[in-house]
Structures are given as structure tokens and as C-alpha cells.
Structure 1
Amino acid sequence: MVGFRASVLTSSGAALLCLVSRCLAIPVVSDATTTFTPPAASAPPQVSHTDVTSHGPYTGPQPTTTGALSTNVLAPSIPALPPGPNAYSYKRTGKLHAPEPAPYTPSGGDGTNGSAPVYRPLSDFDYESIALALYQEWIELDLFHWGLATFSVEEFEKAGLTAEDRFLIEFMADQEVGHATLLTNILGAQAPKQCTYNYPVSNVREYIDFCQKLTRFGESGVYGFLNHLNAHDVGQLLLQSISTEARQQMIFRQFEGLFPMPVWFEVGVPQSWAWSLLAPYISSCPENQTRLIWENYPEVFILNQPNPARIDGSDVRNETTGGYTNTLSTKDVSPEDDCLNSDEVGVNCSPGITRNRSQPLSYPGRQVFLKWDDPGKPIGPNNSYITSTSVKTPSFAAWVNQLNVTYTPLEDVSDNTAWTIQPNTSTYAGDPAVNGTMFLVLTDLDLYVTPFNISQMNPHVYGVALYQSG
């Protein structure tokens, strides 16, 4: 008898090893015989979900609960400290420094002592971070289905997207079902549920641009907290789901006729940045929905946001649909300026595996014009969150991408407007740090941070936006 085993992640967060089917060994014979295929291994159920039928801004009653989830706050910010006492104790000699716990196994590592993993949060930080990720998975599940249901076959094909491309979007929605199921099982009974949503798009090209921006901050938001989780076993599962999210973001860039991966490193950002960018597109959530602790920063408008729909994407003024993502608008793009209508290599931006644009969307030295909202605006699910910031007036634009945070001064700051200059900086020689779909953040201080402690910026952040630099 041959046994087939499968591991199942249960709603309790425990991984169970189950015997799910058996079959007879088939002897090798020369006579014709019937081969029996064992039944498919049973699988855990998907989380309950439906196609959301209501979309648009929130129009319901005033919320009875407002603001982020909170408890006693111990200090206005977390102080910056020097490295820990053992940060430099390991000698980088290429030699082994301790006995091997097993053959071919070096000493050290977290979760390598043979203890069975339990896929549950171990702290408030874990729970709130994973809950944010689940809010993200739910909106992606709806967004992908919504676009396919809203726009016709003719509209997709006019944008250069075939039936096979549409099936890929449908498959990406199926992936989100799996991601939502995984995170729901980790969080337990109080896991956030599906909500209703609103999207700042009116045609297929705007839809694809919004998708690639939404998946950008979804991916980066998880990278920002992944290695800070107390539950490293949960982090392993999140890594395996967010790796798929990264592929989705690249696919939407290809659908938009952009170069698929114009950076050497993907950026990670704090949870409050991701929540600020996500929450405005959630209209309402079920009663007693789990609330989040993360801050909602005021909105930042990039008045000359580069427009990938144009042949000259940098020569623009107020060509977005509005909103935190600064999604492109095709409204004022004439046929002769539309890169989709060109058949010239380096100009045409039809969907493709890769596209090189001879005229870049942005460039070092570009003057970037900015405008921002005051704090105190109701936003997010049921208008029950309130935008806030500890900053009175921003002084810097922080360009956050790859491994870098680069600050440029804000000029002519007046009446919530200013301008700044796109910096000329590299991650390593040959790799422009300002490229791709990236984060532009307004701050009151040019604080030195690196990828692992970037959340130290939060008390100095006024607002956050996405900048389409390439």
C-alpha cells in the first residue's frame, strides 16, 4: 500500500500532516491492464468570498467610531539607538565558528532547532501587520474581478489586451483568494472581511495603471514589515505570497507598455504608508470590522505626474484622476500624442514583454510640482479614519526607492504647495535610484535611515504619494 500525505494549514494556525488517500501498487506485467489513478488529495476550503456588487464612494451615515485603533501611547516616537551589543561579534572569515548541530548544518539560525512551526501572530505588531496585508488582498481580489466585469472585450482589445491577457487577470484574482484564505486562517475569527470599494478609473488604460500602482504599495508594504515580525514562521508564508504579488506588479507594468523591472532592488515601506495609500479606495466594511492601528497621512498631489500614456510622458500638467496613487488620466491625451498609436520602436507603448522608451517618463533635474491636503479629513472604510500628521509644514521631499532615501528641499512653500527637483542619485554605479513606480514622501526632516529602520521616518512624515518615475 502507498500512502499520500499532505500538510494543511488550519484556521488555528497549526500545520497538520494528514493521510489523505491510499492506492494499490501496480505490478509490472506484459499483459494489458488497467492503471488506477489515486483520487486527488483533499484540500482545505477557501475563505468565504463573493463578487462585490456595490462600488463607489461611501454615502452612508456618520461613523460612530473614528480614528485608528489605539491604546496607551508610551512616547511620541521610538528613540534611535546604536546597534545591539552583539551586532559585530560574528567574524566574517568564511570559516565555521561553532559545532554543527547536525551534518551539513551550520550553527545559528532562527527556528532551526526542530520545533514545529505554529502559524499564529506572536504580538500586536504581527497581528496589525498581517491584518493590513489582508485588507490589501481583499481589494486586489475585487479590483481584478471588477475590471473584467466593467470593461468590454472591445475596450480591452482596444488597449491591446487579448483574451489570454484577460484570463491572466482572472487567474491573478484566483491567487488573491488563496492569499486571503491563508491570512484569514493565520489571524483567526476576527480577521478583516471583504469590504466595498471605489476606483479612480474610467477606462482600461487607467484601470491597468491603477492596478500596477496598487500592487506596488501592496508588495512594498509587506516587504517593509516582513523581517520585523516576531512570528518568523508566519513571515515564511507571507514571503511566499508576496513573491506572487511582485509578479503581478510586473505583469501590470507589461500590460501598460512599461519596462517590467527597471530597478535592481524592490523597496520596502512602513505599514502606515501602505495604509494611507490603500484606505481611500475602501468605501465601507461590515459592521464590527477589525480596525487597524496605522496612521492615515494627508493626500499629496503630484501636479505634473508623468503620464505613461503619452509619447512625452514628462510634459504634463494635472493629468491624473486624482487620489493618493496619482493614477494616469487619458482624458486630455490626443491621438497624435498617444504612445499606443505609434508604431515606432522606443515610442510605442502597447502591452509587451518589455518596452524601452527612448524618451523617459522622468529625468534627474526635473521640476516636480506638489500640492497637499490639510490633516483632519475623514477617509477609508465608512469614512471612519481621520488623516493626521505630527508635521506642521513639510520642508523636504523624500524619494524612497530601492535601498535609498534621498531628500530634496521643497522650494516656494506656500498655501500647501511647493516644488522640488528630481535628484540624480544611484543605488550603485549604473543603477539610478529614482526609477519605476516609487514613493515620494513629504517630511520636515532629512532623517538618515536605511531599509531596515525606515519606519523611524514616520513621526516626520506629512504625506505620501506614488511617483511614476519610469
Structure 2
Amino acid sequence: MKCFLAPGLAIVAALTGVAAAPFVSTPTTTVVSEPTGLPSPYAISHHNVTTHGPYRVPATTTGAISTDILASTIAPAPPPPQIVDYPADGQLHGAQPMPYTPSGGIGTNGSLPLYKVASDFDYQSIALALYHEWIELDLFHWGLATFSEDDFQAYGIGAEDRFLLQHMADQEIGHASVLANMLGPSAPKQCTYNYPVSNVREYIDFNQKLTRWAEAGVYGFLPHLNSGPAAQMLLQSITVEARQQMVFRQFGGMFPMPEWHTPGIPQSWAWTLLAPYVASCPENQTRLIWQNFPALYILNQPNPARINGSDVWGEITTGWSNTLSTQGIPDDELCIHSNETGIACQAAIARNRSLPLSYPGREVFLRWDPPGHLVGPNSSYVTTTDAREPRFALWLSQLNVTYTPLLNVSLDARTAYTVQPNVSTWLNDPAVNGTMFLAITDEDLFVTPYNVTMVNPHVAALAVYQAG
């Protein structure tokens, strides 16, 4: 007689080396202990970070790690011939490796999957993802410890919602454990952090932006990993990250998912957006290769805390993330104080706001930093750019990269403005929507979702734009 392990039992056996037998139990609403005989692998060691704030000690090491650099840019090349030549006619064109299985695919030849990184690209990408898991673990806990129940309740975030926030923090333990085990002993450790927020509304906004660029950062590199098994493990974590981002939008009284597609961004974009909020890391912390671009400040960044979120100026707490600020806004202009449908923005499953946060034709005013600022762990990374004079705004959202010209450019003041484009991904699906990304560039280089990284040599500064 053959015995088949249920998928979960097979994974336990593979990770622990212990053969587990199938079992049958009566469903309960609360699991209080593990079933006997089913050992689980240990989660990574972690702790509550007790120190928060900026790093004020001079750096002893600066810059990203590097080795021999073969060229300043990667030259474009034609697509692989096997993709061009495949007829895509619905017929079978190769022998089947086993019944009901088509020819082709990657990692489908029966070889044993190893859940580990397989190249420098894999290591540096997954190490970046681990930095994100660590900050999310701390950030979710920090908010619960910093703000009172009354603070949360004022925004419609009750006890059960706060338990969801705690649960999302616990999820990061599992995510960090998976990634650290695939990286090995040199995996990045927990750090200390500096958050650009002073109240619950700013905290929720920073969370929904951070989880978006962390999610988008993985989507950008996931199909390029050499290790398919590592990509599979990371995929099963990042899908939860996507749900977390949606929850934070709901906590902020915004529509949960206005876009039809979630964009992917290059690793250097994700590291640029994350690094300013990492204060210090342990000695001998693994360093990253990714670039840190200068900060882009959106001077009239849409503010979803306002009744009219597009009628705004200077209400951000920081560059890069452009987290909203509520400081100095009169109570009668904050949507949290309204109960009117279409205006109210207390936490909810969905809010359909009457006044759009942004719209085609809106003038967007920009200022950017010069390169050379120290950022990131222990102030040990330096912002850099290879771009010449900025000439375009790059809007990255959904499946599209769209350029608009920069107008009234002042290189001395490092300011300009551009006009939000009127473009659609599909009919009735505005391309510029949701929590998305805005960069300024010296060239309107044609790129698509799979090769957005090719634009990096042309990026002068970078920001998150709150389009909807």
C-alpha cells in the first residue's frame, strides 16, 4: 500500500528530516498547540527594537559594495529566438516529459529543488527583501506601542483592527525566517529605524507606502532570479505583503485597490526608498550593491487625510516616501471629522471619495536633492546619480512607463513642474492611479515592465506619488 503525505506534512518532513504521518482532527476556532508528532522548524531569532531615531555618529564605511564593472550601461539586445519563433497556436510542439505535461518550462526536469540563492543577483535581491521584512516587523510593533487605543480609535481603527496589525507583524517573522534561511549565516540582521511620522494618520500612510514599494520591489526582480525554488518561496511571502498594503490603504480610508495591475520597480528604487529610514545596523552587517538615488520632493503631493486631497501644498514629512503630514490642517478640512458619504475617510473596507486625489492635467511641482547625501544604515551609503540635466518626469504605475516633459526647470534651485498625463492602461483604467512611483530623468528611454532597470543610469531623483 502506498502512503501519500499531505503537502504541509511533506514540507515539515523536508525541513526537519522527520517523517510525519497524516492525521485527522476536529476543526476548532483556536489552535492552542501543535498536533503531536508534527515538529515545526524554528523561526529566526528576533527581538523588539528598543531604540528609534536618526543615526548621528560619523560613518566609518561609505558606499555600496562593488566589483569589476563591465560597462556604464547594459546595451540593448534582441529577444531570445526561441520566444520569437514559438508559434503559440494552441498545438503541442514537443514530446511530453510525462502524461498531461507539456514540454518546456524551467525547473521541470525532476531535479531536486534547493531553496537557496544561486548567484550574486539572487543574494543581493533577497537580502534587500529581508531588509524590508525586518523594518516591517519593527514598524508594525512600534505603532502599536507608540500610539494609544484612543489614538487609533479616532481613525476608526478598533481593537480587532489592532489585532490584525499585530498579526501582520507576526507574519513578518515567517517571511524573515524564509529569506534568512535561503541566504545563510551572512543574512542581514535586525537594525534600528527612524520613522517620519508623529501621529496615527501619518503612521498609516507611511505603512501603506512602504509596503507598496517593498511589494513592487520584489515584483521587479522575481522573474529574473536564477534560483526558481527561491523565487517560489519569496512569491508565497510577497502575496501576503500585497494584502498588507491593501489593509493599510483601508485603514487610511482609501479605496483598497484602484489600480488594475501592481507595478514592479528596480531593486535600486526599493533600496533608495527604504534606506533613509534604517538608522543603524549591527557591526559586520551585510552590505548591499544597490544604488541610492537623491530624494525627490513632491511639493503638492496629494494628501488623502484632506477632504480635498489635491488642493495641497507642502504637506509631506520627508522626501522619497513623501509621507503625508497633518500638521497645521484645520479640523474642518480633515476628512476624518466628516460622516458624509464621499467625504468621510475613517477606516473601512472601501471608501469611494467624491474628490479625486489627482487627475489628468494636474500640475505637479517638484524639488530634488543633489547627490552626495549620506543615508541608510549607520549613514554609510551615499546618494548618487549618473543622469545629466533632468528633462522628463517618469510615471511608473500598473503596466506603463509614461514620460512627461519637465517645465520651468531651474538647475540652481533644483525645481520644476510637470503635468499629470491623461493615459490609460486599458479603456476605463487610468494608468496613473494608486500608490505609485515618480522619477525625474534626463532621457525618455523606452522600457517595459520586464526591463525597467535599464532606466537607472538616467534617473536623477525618485519619489512615491499618491495618485489615488
CA displacement, residues 130-164 of structure 1 (integer Å, 9 cap, x when unaligned): 00000000000000000000000110101110000
Counterpart secondary structure, 2:19: strand
The residue number in structure 2 matching 1:448 is 446
The residue number in structure 1 matching 2:256 is 260
The partner residue of 1:133 within 129, 133, 156 is: 129
- Normalised by the size of structure 1, how large is the TM-score? 0.94
- Please state how far the C-alpha of 1:21 moved relative to its aligned partner: 5.7
The partner residue of 1:292 within 263, 288, 291 is: 288
Assess if the C-alpha contact under 8 Å between 1:7 and 1:17 holds in 2. Answer: no
Unaligned runs of 5+ in 2: 26-33
Taking the aligned partners of 2:121 and 2:15, their CA distance within structure 1 comes to 22
Change (3 A) 1:369 1:38: closer
- Please state how far the C-alpha of 1:306 moved relative to its aligned partner: 0.3
CA displacement, residues 182-231 of structure 1 (integer Å, 9 cap, x when unaligned): 00000000000000000000000100000000000000000000000010
The partner residue of 1:42 within 32, 39, 42 is: 39
Tell whether 2:191 aligns with 1:157: no
The residue number in structure 1 matching 2:386 is 390
Counterpart secondary structure, 2:409: strand
Taking the aligned partners of 1:412 and 1:448, their CA distance within structure 2 comes to 24
The residue number in structure 2 matching 1:30 is none
Taking the aligned partners of 1:140 and 1:270, their CA distance within structure 2 comes to 20
Change (3 A) 1:354 1:424: same
Taking the aligned partners of 2:96 and 2:78, their CA distance within structure 1 comes to 31
The residue number in structure 2 matching 1:18 is 18
Taking the aligned partners of 2:78 and 2:21, their CA distance within structure 1 comes to 55
Q: How does 1:405-444 map to 2 (within 5 A)?
A: 405-414=401-410, 415-444=413-442
Assess if the C-alpha contact under 8 Å between 1:9 and 1:185 holds in 2. Answer: no
CA displacement, residues 283-311 of structure 1 (integer Å, 9 cap, x when unaligned): 00000000000000000000000000000
- Please state how far the C-alpha of 1:324 moved relative to its aligned partner: 1.2
The partner residue of 2:50 within 37, 50, 53 is: 53
- Please state how far the C-alpha of 1:20 moved relative to its aligned partner: 3.8
Taking the aligned partners of 1:79 and 1:59, their CA distance within structure 2 comes to 41
The partner residue of 1:458 within 439, 456, 459 is: 456
Q: How does 1:30-429 map to 2 (within 5 A)?
A: 39=36, 41-60=38-57, 62-414=58-410, 415-429=413-427
Taking the aligned partners of 1:128 and 1:8, their CA distance within structure 2 comes to 26
Assess if the C-alpha contact under 8 Å between 1:321 and 1:328 holds in 2. Answer: yes
- Please state how far the C-alpha of 1:461 moved relative to its aligned partner: 0.6
Taking the aligned partners of 2:328 and 2:350, their CA distance within structure 1 comes to 26
Taking the aligned partners of 1:249 and 1:236, their CA distance within structure 2 comes to 20
Assess if the C-alpha contact under 8 Å between 2:296 and 2:320 holds in 1. Answer: yes
4+ residue runs over 2 A deviation: 1-10, 14-18, 20-23
- Please state how far the C-alpha of 1:118 moved relative to its aligned partner: 0.2
Look up the equivalent residue of 1:97 and give its one-letter code.
Answer: H
Change (3 A) 1:38 1:277: closer
CA displacement, residues 405-437 of structure 1 (integer Å, 9 cap, x when unaligned): 000011111120000000000001110000000
- Normalised by the size of structure 2, how large is the TM-score? 0.94
Counterpart secondary structure, 1:209: helix
- Please state how far the C-alpha of 1:103 moved relative to its aligned partner: 1.1
- Please state how far the C-alpha of 1:344 moved relative to its aligned partner: 1.2
- Please state how far the C-alpha of 1:87 moved relative to its aligned partner: 2.2
